[in-house]
Structure 1
């Protein structure tokens, strides 16, 4: 939920100058100096006043000087305030909506629709677009058992549907005794037997996010091991990504090591899927700025996502990955509309 600027301790003048600075930096990617702000802010104040406001914003952590020049750029905190309280999002242009409708043709089939959606997200935003494949079949958890192996490794035996057995070796943060593993499996079987495996994973992630500060020792172990198990369990949903090379066009992401890490993350998929799992249990458009994603390689990047639904149930996530200085006012409605139209097309294709 967006908060008013006063809750952040910012005057209306400071908010306005921060908005101008963020918009200018998004546009050209360069530090913004007080002279530019004086010219573009439209405020009848002196350059000295603007420098004082910038100094205050710097001390509060909303902007930073990347080097010895007087220019400043937004921090992740500055972007978050901008997105929550200062951003104006306009609806898509009719031609963009029509383009989405034409490309997301219900006659194309599920895989083709997902592929089209990822390419559309990339081409319309000039960032990387990704779409998870919709979950297809119901995979009901029947039973789970654990056996300790060596050190921080254990064997998980997972029975789904009527008779499908999956064996998984898990790397845990600490060793677990047979007694602890028995307690964990008893709890999981009692609470989740008969439920969809994806729903179990989402519930564990939600519990971990909202109740971690109040967990007892057993529940802490259940969530730690259970989240590891159900995140690592082979799943039907995957994702397709388009436009990764677009990220090479942004100077802040063009470092060879940075690009290698990002492309490795796209290839491994697990880190990204873990973030998307959190998006699947949330309503509306979600925005992760830099370290908010919890994935180190996404520092300097932002992820804007939305769920798409079939028959009223969220079955997948789509979104855009780009630099933190992305054009949020344009990306947000593109992601939102693409999610709505993809869901509509998938409903019609059934």
Structure 2
């Protein structure tokens, strides 16, 4: 994409975006001339600026002679022109000590808190899905009329007991039959694989036995955090000038934090991507604000991607600093989860 403008225009766009991120004021040609390091005339700068504006990389606010980057300008900047700075060693140390807990759920909460503290924006972490462990054997036992104990033995020898509530009473022979069905058809599969297979089967079969199997599957999949995403520091966004003046948009953003579903979708999609993902403004389709950006990275446990973490902040954020914070937090969380 950067080849669509020449080297001189790239330097001027990079200078403009960096200055705008730094002080939030529209940038005039005189400032660009001073800071770009280019040996050109003011007229040349004005011509290049005019070209960049026509191409949609920058825009002129009505109240100023200066220019500001557009979403398209930010996108070119983060894709091709950004120089990411290495994180200061004391911040890396702070992250390491914050992610030193042996407790996985504490690690997730700490990671969200650290992302929020270090960026002063909103940090969020999608809680890990079950590690992809195959189950070996499953058994249903009646506890009372509508309460059933599910005993799950996984291939690594772990035994999990879950209690499920059903809408009707099942006889002992029905429960045995359901257990036999599960063990005969799905033993040696991961819960994720079983879920995919059952989804297809459940569309055709709607009897009581399937209701029981679905309930058992859901019980095996339940997480401590039913929302599936831990968010920290969303109130930080109220302190950001670009956002605090846009009350209607902020309200929309807080509705999203309350709902969380669309964040889950976005993080879920990011989980299947390699490395850092940057969503600027409305690009993601999930964030309602053109003035907002989201930076995400997947994290792992024992070599398997199990979730995603990220930061939501203003489009006018210091990407060169936030990107390594997200990146290193994901790596340190992966290490911590793999050793718990």
Q: TM-score range by the shorter chain?
A: 0.7 to 0.9
Alpha-carbon separation, structure 1, partners of 2:49 and 2:267? 36
> Structure 1, residues 64-105: CA drift from partner, whole Å, max 9, x if none?
112242111111111111111111112211111111111111
Secondary structure of 2:339's counterpart equals helix
* Structure 2 match to 1:132: 126
1:138–1:271 Cα change, 3 Å = same
Q: Secondary structure at the match of 1:304?
A: strand
Partner residue in 2 for 1:348: 339
Q: 2:318 aligns with which of 302, 327, 332?
A: 327
Question: Residues 53, 235 of structure 1: CA spacing in aligned structure 2 closer, same or farther, 3 A cutoff?
Answer: farther
Partner of 1:277: 268
Task: Give 2:24's aligned residue.
Answer: 29
Matched, 1:305 2:300: no
Counterpart of 2:9? 14
- Find the residue that maps to 1:106 and give its secondary structure: coil
- Structure 1: distance between partners of 2:287 and 2:128: 27
For residue 295 of structure 1, the aligned residue among 279, 286, 290 is: 286
Contact 1:104–1:113 (8 Å) recurs in 2: yes
- Give 1:239's aligned residue: 229
- Hey, what's the Cα distance between the residues in 2 that align with 1:28 and 1:279? 31
Matches within 5 A, 1:137-176: none
1:76 equivalenced with 2:71 (yes/no): yes
- Cα–Cα, structure 1 residues 198 and 15, in superposed 2: closer, same or farther, change >3 Å? farther
Tell me the alpha carbon deviations over residues 264-318 of structure 1, each in whole angstroms, 9 at most, x when there is no partner.
Answer: 1011001111111110111111111112111251322111011110010011111
CA distance in 2, matches of 1:113, 1:138: 20
Query: How does the TM-score come out when normalised to structure 1?
Result: 0.71
Structure 2: gaps of 5 or more residues: 135-151, 154-161, 168-188, 197-217
Which among 239, 242, 248 is matched to residue 252 of structure 1? 242
Cα separation, 1, equivalents of 2:193 and 2:34: 53
Q: Helix, strand or coil: the match of 1:116? A: helix
My pick for the range that moved more, 281-290 or 245-254, is 245-254
Bigger CA radius of gyration:
2
Q: Give the Cα–Cα distance (whole angstroms) in 2 for the partners of residues 296 and 319 of structure 1.
A: 13
Residue ranges of structure 1 left out of the alignment (5+ in a row): 141-160, 168-193, 202-232
| Partner of residue 206, structure 1 | none
- Equivalent residue number for residue 121 of structure 1: 115
Aligned positions of 1:78-227 closer than 5 A: 78-107=73-102, 109-136=103-130, 196-197=191-192
1:41 and 2:36 correspond = yes
Query: How big is the alpha-carbon RMSD for the aligned residues of Structure 1 and Structure 2?
Result: 2.9
Q: Distance in 1 between matches of 2:233 and 2:287?
A: 21
